[in-house]
Chains A and B, each alone.
Chain A
Amino acid sequence: MSGYFDIPSDLQHSYLGLIGLHLREALIPVLAGLLLSLPVAQLCVRFRWLYPPVLGVTTVLYAIPSLAFFVVLIDYTGQSETTVMIPLAVYSLVVLVPAIVDGVRSVPQETLDAATAMGFGPVRRYLQVQLPIAVPAIIAGLRVATVSSISLVSVGMLIGNQGALGNLLNDANIYHRPELAVTSVVTTAALAILADAALALVRVVLTPWMPRKGATR
């Protein structure tokens, strides 16, 4: 073994390659979840009666264990990255939809009225007034979703080495190299914390009108 970061060749990736793969498998689902939950949340805001059933459905979907979700999907999407990403996207909804709904609902009525009086149409009012004011709540949700997504990817190892950094865990077992497991756990945790910090920074940049001192959550 020449270097600590040398990865067994059966994974066909370098250390950095695994990190890239891990981030892709974790972040694309969150992004997809965000794109899906924005319209869903808007519908929930518009039609109040829709919110409890939507909340119920996402909670039930969240209750499906990731491993069970993966193996059921193998029948349709094979032992592939997609199989790992679909459940992660579904899980992110349970955090993102309530975060966006609460954020958009928290916009005061006077602010909305002022925007309307200034001649904003509903679309422009949504994009330029409601969404920006909801940014802190949305980012708070995104942070939780991203961190859990990053740590969940590893389970993908069980369905044929689709777990990016998690694949190191299997190699640690079969080659009796515990340091690979340490690398996997530490790197995954570090990625999650870095992503969390990056999103916190994004919030500061996106909401220059907010006080700088830490988020409330």
Chain B
Amino acid sequence: MNILHFIQAFFGDSAHWHGYDGIPTRFGEHLHYCLEALALAAAIGLPVGLVTGHYGRGGNTLALIATAGRALPTFGLLVLLVLLVGFGMLPVMVPLIVLAVPPILVTTYEAVRSVDPSPVDAARGMGMPESRILFQVELPVALPLILGGLRSAAVQIVSTATIAAYIGLGGLGRYIIDGLYQRNYEKVVGGATLVAGAALATLAVFWAVGRFAVSPGVRRSA
């Protein structure tokens, strides 16, 4: 038996496609955790990154915050929060947000700060207010890099949301954790394949968003 046999056996079993432990349900739960965590992390990281990047200040502080965020072990934080506040969504969301904010924050800051200054000066010379400079000049030019930061945050969230299963919640991690405890290797490998597939799908989604959202002029020069 090799990995491919396990994968085939897992996906071939129709019992894995129905009910509360079926792939559609678990996938839906996983997607739900990921979208919520990404939305919250973006709500924190994007505005701060955009504003600090626009004024080009606070880079060292942001680097410190990012290092601290990366240094906190995601899994440890999860277990600790469960012990402190009990089971629920909060112990899953906080580690995922801590994981996702640093890449969003740092890339957004760097992206906005490194925008070519001449169009920004031109916009300012034309009398654009700072907010319009940020949203109509800097943001479109910086968008590919910002999307890159969001992408790596999203991929990390998708792969790490598996730990939610360790504290009894659902998601695709269910298969991995249950399979490990039941010594059901087929289930473990099936779950791992699903999560890896979801992560790759995330890459594809961001690629598509990039094609759609980045203006053609910016894409050509990149």
Chain A interface residues toward B at CB < 8 A: 59-60, 62-69, 71-72, 75, 143-144, 147-148, 150-155, 157-159, 163, 165-166, 169, 172-173, 178, 181-182, 184-185, 188-189, 192-193, 196, 214, 217
Distance between Cα atoms of A192 and B72 in the complex (Å): 8
- A202 CB to closest chain B CB, in angstroms? 16
Across the interface, do B73 and A151 meet the contact criterion of CB distance under 8 Å?
A: yes
- B95 CB to closest chain A CB, in angstroms? 10
Across the interface, do B180 and A158 meet the contact criterion of CB distance under 8 Å?
A: yes
- B194 CB to closest chain A CB, in angstroms? 9
Q: List 15 A-B contacts (CB under 8 A).
A: A60-B203, A63-B155, A64-B199, A148-B70, A152-B74, A155-B163, A157-B75, A166-B75, A166-B76, A169-B75, A173-B79, A184-B80, A188-B71, A189-B71, A189-B72
- B22 CB to closest chain A CB, in angstroms? 19
Of A60, A65, A188, the residue contacting B73 (CB under 8 A) is A188
Distance between Cα atoms of A151 and B75 in the complex (Å): 8
Closest A residue to B193 by CB, please name it.
A68
- B131 CB to closest chain A CB, in angstroms? 28
In the assembled complex, B46 has its CB within 8 A of some CB on chain A: no
A63, A71, A151, A154: most-surrounded residue (chain B CB, <10 A): A63
Across the interface, do A159 and B203 meet the contact criterion of CB distance under 8 Å?
A: no
Across the interface, which residues of A come within 8 angstroms of B159, CB to CB? 63-68
Distance between Cα atoms of A188 and B75 in the complex (Å): 11
Distance between Cα atoms of A60 and B201 in the complex (Å): 10
- Which residues 151-186 of B have a CB within 8 angstroms of A? 152, 155, 158-160, 162-163, 166, 173, 176-177, 179-180, 185
Distance between Cα atoms of A60 and B177 in the complex (Å): 23
In the assembled complex, B3 has its CB within 8 A of some CB on chain A: yes
Across the interface, which residues of B come within 8 angstroms of A66, CB to CB? 159-160
- B176 CB to closest chain A CB, in angstroms? 6
Distance between Cα atoms of A169 and B71 in the complex (Å): 17
- B167 CB to closest chain A CB, in angstroms? 10
Give the size range of B's interface with the partner.
Answer: 35 or more
Mostly helix, strand, loop or mixed at chain A's interface? helix
Distance between Cα atoms of A63 and B191 in the complex (Å): 15
In the assembled complex, B137 has its CB within 8 A of some CB on chain A: no
* Segment from B60-68, B122-130, B139-147, B211-219 that makes contact with A: B60-68
Across the interface, do B79 and A72 meet the contact criterion of CB distance under 8 Å?
A: no
- B182 CB to closest chain A CB, in angstroms? 13
Q: A63-B200, A158-B166 are in contact. Are A68 and B192 (CB under 8 A)?
A: yes
Distance between Cα atoms of A59 and B203 in the complex (Å): 9
- Which residues 11-66 of B have a CB within 8 angstroms of A? 60, 63
Distance between Cα atoms of A65 and B71 in the complex (Å): 18
Closest A residue to B106 by CB, please name it.
A217
Of B3, B73, B160, the residue contacting A166 (CB under 8 A) is B73
Across the interface, which residues of A come within 8 angstroms of B79, CB to CB? 169, 172-173, 181, 184
- Which residues 59-116 of B have a CB within 8 angstroms of A? 60, 63, 67-68, 70-77, 79-80, 83-84
Across the interface, do B192 and A71 meet the contact criterion of CB distance under 8 Å?
A: yes
Q: A65-B196, A67-B173, A68-B159 are in contact. Are A178 and B75 (CB under 8 A)?
A: no
In the assembled complex, B189 has its CB within 8 A of some CB on chain A: yes
Closest B residue to A147 by CB, please name it.
B70
Across the interface, which residues of A come within 8 angstroms of B72, CB to CB? 151, 185, 188-189
